[in-house]
Amino acid sequence: MEERRRFARTSAAYRVELTNPAFGTLVGSTRDISDGGAQVVLDSELVPPVGTAVDVVFKKIVGPVNAQPVAMKVMHTHKNVVGLMFVGR
């Protein structure tokens, strides 16, 4: 299978908050992250549909990685795992 990713992925474990007015805030953690996006395992069974715009805050133990939410888009889902792409990249 041909690799289509433009950015190298790095294993990373950050807590993540995904927010959208339609469903509120969902919490999960990253499996990996790259300059193009992140793969997130959600703590709930509620999964936003592909194409949903979300505001995302990445957190570490002592506080947020990003003070302001970043715009991302749901690109794919599988069970409680979502693939997110940074918008504007």
For 17-53, how does the pLDDT look when each residue is reduced to its tens digit (9 = 90+)?
999 999 999 999 999 999 899 999 999 989 999 999 9
Helix (H) or strand (E) holding 70: strand 70-78
- CA dist 29 and 83 (Å) reads 12
Give the predicted TM-score (pTM) of the model.
Answer: 0.84
How many of the other CB atoms lie within 10 Å of CB of 74? Answer: 21
Collapsing DSSP to helix, strand or coil, 61 comes out as coil
Residue pair 54/38 in contact (Cβ under 8 Å)? The answer is no
